[in-house]
């Protein structure tokens, strides 16, 4: 068998395996690798309500500003709980 035929056979076998795995997972939203890692795991119980947590695609989010106030003063945002830093900038 030449190298080209060997590679074609390998690709064909890999695609068949992938197709079989996709059929087994049909209706599920998790990847096979994720499901394998989750096998045998137990949930950790906490007192935190997950509905109150801030969620982003990057996994990081800044502190939320209370919705009852439309604007804050510089003095308010540079102290707790926001602790922001005011940097003077000349626009260049």
**Do 78 and 84 contact (CB within 8 A), yes or no?**
yes
pLDDT at residue 25, as a whole number: 65
* pLDDT tier for residue 26 given thresholds of 50, 70 and 90: low
21-25, 42-46, 76-80: which has the highest mean pLDDT? 76-80
The model's pTM is 0.26
What is the rounded distance in angstroms from the CA atom of residue 34 to the CA atom of residue 13?
23
pLDDT at residue 1, as a whole number: 58
pLDDT at residue 55, as a whole number: 73
What is the rounded distance in angstroms from the CA atom of residue 3 to the CA atom of residue 6?
5
What is the rounded distance in angstroms from the CA atom of residue 92 to the CA atom of residue 80?
30
Q: How far is CA 38 from CA 17, 28, 30, 57, in A?
A: 21, 14, 10, 21
């Amino acid at each position: 068998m030449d190298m080209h035929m060997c590679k074609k056979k390998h690709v064909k076998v890999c695609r068949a395996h992938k197709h079989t795995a996709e059929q087994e997972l049909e209706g599920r939203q998790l990847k096979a690798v994720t499901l394998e890692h989750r096998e045998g795991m137990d949930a950790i119980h906490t007192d935190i309500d997950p509905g109150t947590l801030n969620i982003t695609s990057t996994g990081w989010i800044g502190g939320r500003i209370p919705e009852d106030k439309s604007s804050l003063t510089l003095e308010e945002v540079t102290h707790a709980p926001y602790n922001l830093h005011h940097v003077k900038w000349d626009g260049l």
